[in-house]
Every structure is written in structure tokens, then in C-alpha cells.
Amino acid sequence: MLRTQGVAALVAVIGIATFFVWYEVLARERAGILTVAFLDVGQGDAIFIEAPNGAQVLIDGGKGMSVVRALGSVMPWHDRSIDVVIATHPDLDHIGGLTEVLARYDVGMVLEAGVLDDGADQQAFLRAIEREGLTPIKARYGMVLALDEEVHLTILFPDTDVSYFEPNTGSIVARLTYGEISFLLTGDAPSQIETYLAGRYHEQLASDVLKLGHHGSRTSSHELFVGYVAPRYGIVSAGCGNTYGHPHTEVLATMARFDVTVLDTCTEGTIVFTSDGKSLRRK
């Protein structure tokens, strides 16, 4: 009996040691690398960011359980925490899955745009935040989340109170930078907000990757805006065969004119980029 217990204890020790060895290996592999994953959540948005130091941000969460499954493909099984959750605006295909995320992960902070919405989905999201003992913070122009020494997520919009804005118009727009590499993340911001941002920031919008507004809808991706962003890649987060026809042919034509490579979660699945701050790699 004692011998059996001794063998079991030895196996447990070996198992624990193996875990820490692999943890160290993974930590070394991650050192200096930013990961940005545009998750395949069907017709919706969800973007997972992990800084080199391990700080994590989830922007939006689709509309169901798909975000939980998608997170499982980019996060270690033992990781049950997310530092920051950002809800760009209160539409079901952006916040629906965040209720599940809040229930399953230890979330440190929630940012939202501040658009008032009495709908059931937004109210469920707010109740989930309250259950976790969190107070949502309104994202505003000039706020910077310092995720790591050289990794910053800067809020470009809203720059005013958007309480009574139409939800898409009140979307949070943020720019993620790591050294020489940048991502522009637009929620469902329509053309009128894009042209406003173009007039305000001009070349400061320049980014390697642009998350196309509103799933590639013709209501977004204004030529002036795309010209200033000048992205290498345009990401469409949309479901296959969606009833909206996303991405619209007009948007794809605009991307072609600016020589932008379009990647679609429908055909590509989850789209993952990694960067060392100097170069960008499709994983």
C-alpha cells in the first residue's frame, strides 16, 4: 500500500514538473511576441490580443457560445483570466457572447462605449458585469491601455458622450501599436465616423491591419478613410452565407483599389497575426 502511494506521489511530482517545464518553454516562445487573433465567431466580432508579457484583451464576443470555443483555440487550457474586456457597442453580435466570457473567465476590467440601450442583450451583459463585482468604464478619446512596455491600445473614438447615438455610430475605435506594427480596430463604425477620424488624424491612422467596419458592409470602409489607413490586410469578421451579404462587393472593390489583401473569417477561420514589433507574420 505504501509503495503504491509512493509511486502515485512520484507520478504526481513528475506531472507537476513536466507542466512547469512546458510552461517555461511556452513562456520563452512567447517572449517578445504580440498575438492578435480575429476569432471565428460566425456573424459577429471578437478580437483576442495577447501582449508579450501575457496581458490579454478581448474586444467583443460575437453572439453566443462560439467565442468560448474560439478562445480555447488561442488560450492555454489552464488560463482562466482575461485582463480587459471591451464591448465596442451594444449589438447582439458584439456583446452576446461576453456574458458567457464573464461567467467563465476572471475578468479584470470592462470598457464600453456608453451607448444607452434597453434591449435584453445589453441588460443581460450589464447584469453579468455586476455579478462579477465590476463597474464598466466608458472608453474615451485619449485613453491608453499600456499592455506592455511597447504595446499600447489607444482609444480614438468616442471623443464625446455617445449615450443617445445610434449603436454603430457610437462604436469604440481603437488603435493597437507594438513598435513599428499597428492594428486599427473599428467595431461597426460607419462611414460618417470614418471620415471624421480621417479629418482629425490623417496619416496618424496608418496601420498594417484594418478590421473592416461592420463586417465588410457598404456602410463602412469609406475610400478617404481606407486611403489614410493604407493597410496591408483588411479583416472581414462575418459568417458564411449571412443574410446581409457581407462582405459587400463595393467594399471588396475599394480594397482592391488600395491593394489591400482581404482575409475573411468565413473562409479562413480564426485569423492570427504575430509580431515582434518590427515585422508582421500571419500565423
Q: In percent, how much of the chain has pLDDT > 70?
A: 89
Each residue's pLDDT tens digit, 218-270 = 999 999 999 999 999 999 999 999 999 999 999 999 999 999 999 999 999 99
Each residue's pLDDT tens digit, 89-121 = 999 999 999 999 999 999 999 999 999 999 999
The architecture (CATH level 2) of 34-282 comes to 4-Layer Sandwich (3.60)
Q: CA 178, CA 140: separation in Å to the nearest integer? A: 21
Sequence-ordered list of residues with C-beta below 8 angstroms from that of 147, at least 6 positions apart, any chain: 49, 51, 53, 55, 57, 83, 153
Look up residue 97 and give its DSSP letter: T
Residue 30 pLDDT: 61
Residue 168 pLDDT: 97
Q: CA 160, CA 9: separation in Å to the nearest integer? A: 60
Strand partners, 211: 185, 235
- 25, pLDDT greater than 80: no
- 9, pLDDT greater than 50: no
Tell which wins on pLDDT, 19 or 259. 259
- Averaged pLDDT for residues 177-190: 97
How much is the pTM? Answer: 0.90
- Quote the Cα angle for 214-242-40, to 5°: 70
Residue 283 pLDDT: 86
DSSP H or E segment with residue 84: strand 81-87
